[in-house]
């Protein structure tokens, strides 16, 4: 069964859930905005399926609803923050805005964040640089979920890479991808919806290919890196520039609390001010030409259109604005459970989508 909901009304309902889970109004808005953006752009694994999970972790203290983000180190073009286990959207947005301000002064800026929690939708951060005519980059480490190339033990994170680039007449170019075959939350989403997965996504705990997402989500199995050694290598590099560059310890005997040890998530954000390298209008014009060349290039049999990075997600976003969001039982039931647990007298039916004709 499916339910068609209005994105704006649903975001407000999700904000209400996070406020009841302990966040301030502003922070609850930020987290709900991240999840709705992911849902609208078709990245459902990082969208509303996370609402119940986030709310539970806030109430358990694994995501700190009363965090105090602190600046640990700072230079002309760099900064290091301690997120105090704030929601990823809150710490990430804070650090990315700081990075953009520094890039405006210095041309390029890089910030790292330690003691983070689940990152959410990476494009949410990188795309913040677009309005400033900057290239935005966002990276995060994750809990160990991926096997190294040739192995089957969970030792590397899915460690995504996101780059957002402003264009002129064309839509922004936004590349956002995990360094595993799929993001862990795609397996989690399939697990929530009770669906099987392709057998090249991951391995069970014995190192055998599996189509059961439970083998990966709860059974100790591992995702596979994309492109074999290439994805494995990129994932390990992201680990270095997030976890190690932020000063996060990899030792297991640091006498940290359970909350402090929660996945040992770290981030890296960068911003590049195009105007300090070249003329912005000329840059955008050249990108538009490059996009058009790709779009109009020869297609192999059976392919109707060639897309540039982020174009499909932009199409999804515009469709969501026109037609609303479709939620299926797994996600809608998890949100309904959370509303009931928190005693919020609202339901997803209050968010039904009404199309204007």
What integer pLDDT is reported at residue 356 of this predicted model? 62
Q: What does the pLDDT read at residue 259?
A: 44
Q: What is the pLDDT of residue 47?
A: 95
127 bridge partner residues: none
Burial class (CB in 10 A: 0-12, 13-18, 19+), 10: buried
- Could you give the dihedral angle defined by the CA atoms of residues 87, 91, 96 and 101, in that order, rounded to the nearest 10 degrees? 150
pLDDT tens digits in sequence order for the chain, 357 residues long: 789 999 999 999 999 999 999 999 999 999 999 999 999 999 998 999 999 999 999 999 999 999 999 999 999 999 999 999 999 999 999 999 999 999 999 999 999 999 999 999 999 999 999 999 999 999 999 989 999 999 999 999 999 999 999 999 999 999 999 999 988 888 988 998 899 999 999 999 999 999 999 999 999 999 999 999 999 999 999 999 999 999 998 876 555 543 444 557 999 999 999 999 999 999 999 999 999 999 999 999 999 999 999 999 999 999 999 999 999 989 999 999 999 999 999 999 999 998 764
pLDDT given at position 1: 74
Question: Which pLDDT score, from 0 to 100, does residue 189 have?
Answer: 85
Contact 306, 298 (CB under 8 A): no
What pLDDT is recorded for position 2? 87
In this prediction, residue 326 carries a pLDDT of 95
Residue 9 to residues 36, 56, 248, 332, 333, Cα–Cα distance (Å): 10, 22, 39, 14, 17
How deeply is 60 buried, as exposed, middle or buried, from its count of CB atoms within 10 A (0-12, 13-18, 19+)? exposed
- Report the chain's C-alpha Rg in angstroms: 20
Beta bridge partners of 114: 82
């Amino acid at each position: 069964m499916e339910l068609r909901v209005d994105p704006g009304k649903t975001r407000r309902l999700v904000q209400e859930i996070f406020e009841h889970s302990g966040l301030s109004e502003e922070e609850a808005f930020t987290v709900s905005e991240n999840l709705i953006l992911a849902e609208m752009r078709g990245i459902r694994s990082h969208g509303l399926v996370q609402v119940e999970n986030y709310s539970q972790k806030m109430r358990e203290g694994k995501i700190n609803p009363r965090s105090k983000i602190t600046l640990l180190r700072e230079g002309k073009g760099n900064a290091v923050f301690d997120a105090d286990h704030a929601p990823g959207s809150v710490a990430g947005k804070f650090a990315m805005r700081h990075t953009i301000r520094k890039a405006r002064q210095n041309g390029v800026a890089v910030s790292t964040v330690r003691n983070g929690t689940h990152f959410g939708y990476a494009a949410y951060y990188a795309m913040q640089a677009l309005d400033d005519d900057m290239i935005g980059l966002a990276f995060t480490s994750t809990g160990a979920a991926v096997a190294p190339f040739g192995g089957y033990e969970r030792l590397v994170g899915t460690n995504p890479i996101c780059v957002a680039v402003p264009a002129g007449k064309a839509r922004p170019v936004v590349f956002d991808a995990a360094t595993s075959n799929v993001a862990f939350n795609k397996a989690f989403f399939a697990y929530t919806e009770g669906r099987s997965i392709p057998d090249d996504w991951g391995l069970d705990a014995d190192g055998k290919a599996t189509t059961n997402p439970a083998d990966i989500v709860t059974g100790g199995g591992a995702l596979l890196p994309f492109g074999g050694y290439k994805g494995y290598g990129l994932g390990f590099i992201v680990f270095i520039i997030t976890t190690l560059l932020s000063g996060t310890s990899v030792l297991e005997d640091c006498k940290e609390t359970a909350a402090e040890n929660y996945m040992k998530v770290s981030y890296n954000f960068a911003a590049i001010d195009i105007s300090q390298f070249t003329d912005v209008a000329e840059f955008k014009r050249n990108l538009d030409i490059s996009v058009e060349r790709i779009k109009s290039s020869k297609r192999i049999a059976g392919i109707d259109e060639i897309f540039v990075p982020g174009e499909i997600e932009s199409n999804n976003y515009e469709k969501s604005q026109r037609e609303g969001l479709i939620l299926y039982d797994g996600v809608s039931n998890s949100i309904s459970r959370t509303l009931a647990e928190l005693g919020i007298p609202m339901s997803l039916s209050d968010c039904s989508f009404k199309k204007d004709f």
